[in-house]
Amino acid sequence: MGAYIVRRVIAMVLMLIALSMITFLLFNVLPADPARLTCGKACTPAVIAANRHRLGLDDPLYVQYEKFVKGIFVGRTYGSGTATFDCHVPCLGYSFRQGEQVTDLIKAKFPITAQLAAGGFILWLVSGVSIGIIAALKRGKWEDRAIMGAALVGYSFPSFFIGLLLLYFVQIKWHLVSFAGYTSFFDSPSLWFQALILPWIAIAMVQAAFYARLTRNQMLETMGEDYIRTARAKGLKERTVIGRHGLRAGLTPIVTAAGLDLAYVLGGAIITEQVFNLDGLGKLAITSVIDSDLPTITATVLVAATFIIVSNLIVDLLYAIIDPRVRLA
């Protein structure tokens, strides 16, 4: 187990290094010139040259990448002489379009996205898995057909459409939720909940439909195994047979999907944040693309991809805990 963890951590580090190189190179070979984009109205060749030096764009590409990686661990300094300023650890770049360190921008937006992702994740996982178990236990009955029919319909609708429906009916027409923008939980738990409940539902409905179908299929497969019949023959309670033996054995693909889906949402629920006007990582990414803010685009892509890679590692390590049949060599 220990050797497996070491190998997976080394592989993750190598993937992160390759990811940082590809992301950095990809966005630095684009035809957009950050030095020209940040020169303002008084845009002359001299101003552009000064901006290029201030941004460090006059260095060779490999030197720029070296400074980028160094900045993550020890920080970096932009400019030279008296016209210098520091970018503190961890420095993912400096947004001259917004006049802030990119790390500070991400820190400010991440809590909203994290709360959105965590709430939606809990909602879709609990509801999806529970509904899937019920459908499997009622196989062939009207409950099973109704649940699977509703899951198929729910999975067919995109999240932005569900979000718009929720906004129109729940908030505008029925006035069940009053929304005055995002409010911190510590300022007002009630307003915080009202700001996030509809986005949580919008995210969870599509995902819950998928997890209901996935859980049902896994339960039907595992409940027909010999060890399930043996457990029942021993006189174990049906709840124990279903929860400890049936569901646990079928959790492997569910955990895989859950880990990756949570990472995607953490990387920035772009559509949901736009529909509900939440100022998270998704909205930051869209604003950066519109403004051609290359340092911020690079950093948000790198952060989102890092979530996915780390989630893969965590999911792999959970396999041996969830399913005792898995052996890690």
pLDDT tens, position by position, 194-238: 999 999 999 998 899 899 999 999 888 888 778 888 888 888 888
* Beta pairing, strands 83-87 & 100-101: unpaired
> Of 32, 67, 101, which one is at a domain's C-terminal end?
101
Q: With a cut of 60, say whether residue 327 has pLDDT above it.
A: no
Placement of tokens 């901006």 in the chain: 51
Token pair for 54:
């201030």
Question: Do residue 133 and residue 231 come from a single domain?
Answer: yes
Classify residue 220: in a domain, yes or no. Answer: yes
Q: What is the mean pLDDT of residues 57-83?
A: 84
Q: How many residues does the chain have?
A: 329
Classify residue 312: in a domain, yes or no. Answer: yes
d(CA 131, CA 327): 30
Mean residue pLDDT across the chain: 85
Classify residue 327: in a domain, yes or no. Answer: no
Question: Do residue 135 and residue 161 come from a single domain?
Answer: yes
pLDDT of residue 262: 87
pLDDT of residue 80: 67
Question: Do residue 35 and residue 158 come from a single domain?
Answer: no
Question: Do residue 161 and residue 208 come from a single domain?
Answer: yes
Nearest by Cα to 12 from 309, 319, 328: 309
Classify residue 46: in a domain, yes or no. Answer: yes
Neighbouring-strand partners of residue 274: none
The per-residue pLDDT for range 83-138, each reduced to its tens digit, is: 677 888 899 988 878 888 999 999 999 999 999 999 999 999 999 999 999 999 89
d(CA 34, CA 45): 14
d(CA 221, CA 163): 34
Neighbouring C-beta atoms of residue 243, cutoff 10 Å? 12
* Beta pairing, strands 100-101 & 76-80: unpaired
Classify residue 205: in a domain, yes or no. Answer: yes
> Of 80, 101, 122, which one is at a domain's C-terminal end?
101
Cis-peptide, bond into residue 90, ω within 30° of zero: yes
Looking at the 3D structure of the chain, how many domains does it have?
A: 2
pLDDT of residue 328: 56
Q: With a cut of 90, say whether residue 317 has pLDDT above it.
A: no
Question: Do residue 171 and residue 191 come from a single domain?
Answer: yes
Question: Do residue 45 and residue 138 come from a single domain?
Answer: no
Query: What values do phi and psi take at 328, rounded to 5?
Result: -100, 120
Question: Do residue 176 and residue 75 come from a single domain?
Answer: no
Crossing angle (nearest 10°) for helices 294-322 and 251-266:
160
C-beta of residue 129 within 8 angstroms of C-beta of residue 209: no
Range of the domain at 28: 2-101
Question: Do residue 26 and residue 45 come from a single domain?
Answer: yes
Question: Do residue 246 and residue 309 come from a single domain?
Answer: yes
d(CA 262, CA 121): 6
